[in-house]
């Protein structure tokens, strides 16, 4: 039986009080897709009651990037990259480690209790990047070498398209599932028999567009996920 762990690393654009002066004049950047994943919070909240445990981060990714490893060149944004190294270390200690380490600690606890984990990390992507339109409604990011992740995403896509046949669902788009992200890090910590990680990417044209279409997409994602989870629980 699967234990479903839900996370959202880019749910908000909150600036901690001590860094408000640093972000003065950057309101437009904070409100953009670079400041947070637009719509991710609403989708996370839609899926929350399906999960056994869930974790949400609302600090802007412009302070520090929770979905990147410490070695990433994009760990810090254009706003924070020029800060002194000591200040960067302080940000990591106070705003990076607490979230990541708590999720990892809980996963280890569940695995010690003989649970098999399915981790879904909720994200969204901008409809147009650098003048190029993104060609998908939903992206399912996974490691193709991990058979369970591949199989789960195949079933999930099938269930989504049963509910909404014209929904454009793509695998490992607009990013590769093995790119530097939280699930990629966790795959190095936990073997395949204990952990499976999928990043769910939603096109921001839905939360930014028609409210009924956005409501319908959230419904389709949730109902299809619930169906696949149920099938694994009874298999």
**Per-residue pLDDT tens over the stretch 90-125:** 999 999 999 999 999 999 999 999 999 999 999 999
Give the pLDDT of residue 1.
Answer: 79
Its pTM surpasses 0.85: yes
Give the single-character DSSP code of 172.
Answer: S
Is the pLDDT at 75 greater than 90, yes or no? yes
Is the pLDDT at 209 greater than 60, yes or no? yes
Give the pLDDT of residue 130.
Answer: 84
Rounded CA-CA distance 224/157 in Å is: 8
**Per-residue pLDDT tens over the stretch 10-43:** 999 999 999 999 999 999 999 999 999 999 999 9
Is the pLDDT at 235 greater than 80, yes or no? no
Percent of the chain with pLDDT over 70: 99
The residue among 129 and 62 whose pLDDT is bigger is 62
Rounded CA-CA distance 97/232 in Å is: 33
Give the pLDDT of residue 64.
Answer: 98
Give the pLDDT of residue 68.
Answer: 97
CB within 8 Å of 177: residues ≥ 6 apart: 141, 142, 143, 144, 149, 171, 183, 184, 198, 199
Q: Is the Cα torsion angle 83, 86, 91, 92 positive or negative in sign?
A: positive
Is the pLDDT at 197 greater than 80, yes or no? yes
Average pLDDT, the chain: 96
Give the pLDDT of residue 88.
Answer: 98
Domains belonging to the chain, first-starting first, are 2-233 (3.40.630.40)
Q: How far is CA 175 from CA 6, 91, 94, 170, 218, in A?
A: 19, 26, 28, 10, 21
- Residue 60 · residue 12 · CB < 8 Å: yes
Q: Is the Cα torsion angle 69, 72, 76, 81 positive or negative in sign?
A: positive
Rounded CA-CA distance 73/52 in Å is: 33
Give the pLDDT of residue 234.
Answer: 55
**Per-residue pLDDT tens over the stretch 146-180:** 999 999 999 999 999 999 999 999 999 999 999 99
Give the pLDDT of residue 232.
Answer: 82
Helices (H), the chain: 27-31, 40-47, 85-91, 97-112, 147-163, 182-189, 211-233
């Amino acid at each position: 039986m699967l234990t479903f762990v839900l996370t959202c690393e880019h749910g908000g654009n909150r600036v901690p009080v001590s860094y408000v002066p640093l972000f003065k004049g950057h309101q437009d950047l904070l409100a953009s897709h670079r400041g947070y994943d637009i719509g991710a919070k609403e989708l996370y909240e839609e899926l929350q009651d399906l999960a056994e445990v869930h974790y949400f981060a609302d600090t802007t990714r412009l302070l520090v990037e929770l979905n990147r490893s410490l070695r990433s060149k994009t760990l810090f944004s254009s706003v924070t990259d020029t800060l002194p190294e000591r200040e960067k270390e302080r940000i990591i200690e106070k705003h990076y480690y607490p979230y990541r380490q708590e999720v990892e600690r809980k996963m280890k606890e569940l695995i010690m209790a003989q649970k098999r984990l399915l981790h879904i990390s909720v994200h969204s992507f901008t409809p147009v990047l650098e003048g190029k339109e993104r060609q998908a409604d939903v992206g399912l990011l996974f490691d193709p070498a991990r058979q369970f992740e591949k199989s789960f995403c195949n079933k999930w896509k099938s269930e989504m398209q049963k509910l909404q046949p014209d929904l454009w669902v793509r695998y490992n788009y607009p990013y590769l599932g093995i790119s530097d992200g939280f699930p990629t890090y966790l795959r190095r910590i936990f073997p395949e028999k204990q952990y499976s990680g999928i990043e769910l990417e939603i096109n921001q044209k839905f939360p930014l567009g028609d409210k009924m279409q956005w409501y319908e997409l959230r419904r389709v994602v949730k109902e299809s996920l619930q169906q696949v989870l149920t099938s694994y629980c009874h298999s």
